[in-house]
Amino acid sequence: MNWDQVEGRWHQVKGKLRSKWGELSDDDLQNVAGKRELVIGKVQSCYGLLREEAERQVDDWIARLPLDDPNAHGPQ
């Protein structure tokens, strides 16, 4: 999945993102609204990661989300 798709399916993706990174609050997810840089920044700050590591983790996770089934669960 690419970031245009993430933004377009944000209501579906944000629950999956929360399952992966449970430290992110509902407010965090509401505020980032699928914007890549903001998602990476929240993961970085909540988990104390270096920027590059947070970016890698988020991009890897999003890349593995299924495209065809919007109800399928992404990788954990």
Q: How many domains does the chain divide into?
A: 1
Compute the average pLDDT of residues 44-69.
Answer: 90
Domain membership flag for residue 69: no
Q: How many CA atoms lie within 13 A of 76 on its CB side?
A: 2
Domain membership flag for residue 59: yes
- Residue 72 confidence (pLDDT) above 60: no
pLDDT band at 2 (very low <50, low <70, confident <90, very high): confident
Domain membership flag for residue 74: no
Four-CA torsion 15, 17, 20, 21, nearest 10 degrees:
-110
pLDDT band at 67 (very low <50, low <70, confident <90, very high): low
Domain membership flag for residue 19: yes
CATH number at residue 34: 1.10.1470.10
User: What's the chain's average pLDDT?
Assistant: 87
| Tokens 């509902």 -> residue | 26
Kindly state the DSSP code that residue 76 receives in the 8-state scheme. Answer: -
Q: Which domain holds residue 27?
A: 3-63
Give the pLDDT score at 47. 97
